[in-house]
Amino acid sequence: MSRFVVDPDWLPFDRDPTRPTFRVPAHAVDAHCHVFGPAHRFPFAPERKYTPCDAPKESLWKLRDFLGFERNVIVQATCHGADNSALVDALADADGLARGVATVRASITDDELRGLDAAGVRGVRFNFVRRLVDALPRDTLSGIAKRVAALGWHVVIYFEAEELPEHYEFFSTLPVTVVVDHMGRPDVSRDPDGPEFGLFLRLLRENGNIWSKVSCPERLSKSGPPHYTDVVPFARRVVEEFPDRVLWGTDWPHPNMKSHMPDDGVLVDFIPQIAVSMEAQRKLLVDNPMRLYWPEERK
Ligand code: 0GY
């Protein structure tokens, strides 16, 4: 039994998703998902901003197989703070079919970083979303970025669109590949040709090392499921302009969703709306994630 009490408004993940109509290409990678706990083995961090239900690795593997994916990239969730044990445990169980993105503090030793690398971690996440974390100072983040660059890792950044102006210069200076979560969380009620999303597109145009996940229609959409129509022009624009720098992920188990809990099969069916050709789909789901996470065995 866990001593943690799940947040009263927590929406649990859907244990019975629809089988998607869209068939993902062979060797597809779900490049953004999480594991939570189980809390009795991997306690949540004292500094966490939410307490989720358990979402263990076994459930993730089951979903991966059901949706037709081959591999996962597991992103350390903020509810586990900088204790990457649940992530490392999942990677150890994945038979080489999962890679990780960790959260680290400046105090992490080089030996610990090498240990994470051996476990399959290939990146660190810098989170600027205030409801999720107390962000670290920029010089600390720069120091971490330099250290992980030596391992060939990349940096994942999570921020909301209104925060981009204040971070734009900083993001442009990061000395590694940078992957933006969920297209920088645009307000999709605005014009995709307007200044807010324009600044995000400019960030990618001016910095050839910056990639984007075109994930999370369920989080961004105001029109809602099943088609998440209002997100399509944003995600499709990014896929079409930067076909070699986009990734896609389910975001299972969908932390902090309040409007609804998405059906992961429906999310997979969103993919052909934003990556229209088979070539774009293959780049998004196979070539790009393989290049970033499994460069040693590119398909
Ligand atoms: C996401 C989004 C969220 C949460 C986290 O690590 C996390 O806690 O990433 C969110 O609440 O927006 O990408 O899963």
| 183 φψ region: left (φ > 0), alpha (ψ -120 to 50), beta (else) | left
pLDDT in tens, 129-152: 989 998 789 999 999 999 999 999
Q: How far apart are CA 85 and CA 37, in angstroms?
A: 9
Instruction: Report whether pLDDT(2) > 90.
Output: no
Q: What is the full DSSP assignment across 224-263?
A: -TTT-GGGHHHHHHHHHH-TTSEE----TT-TT--S-PPP
29-294 fold: TIM Barrel (3.20.20)
Whole-structure pTM value: 0.96
Ligand 1 mutation pick, 34, 80, 259, max ligand atoms within 8 A of CB: 34
Q: For residue 204, report the distance from its CA to the centre of ligand 1, in Å.
A: 22
83 is catalytic: no
pLDDT in tens, 20-30: 999 999 999 99
Q: For residue 255, report the distance from its CA to the centre of ligand 1, in Å.
A: 5
What are the extents of the domains in the chain?
A: 29-294
State which amino acid sits at residue 107.
S
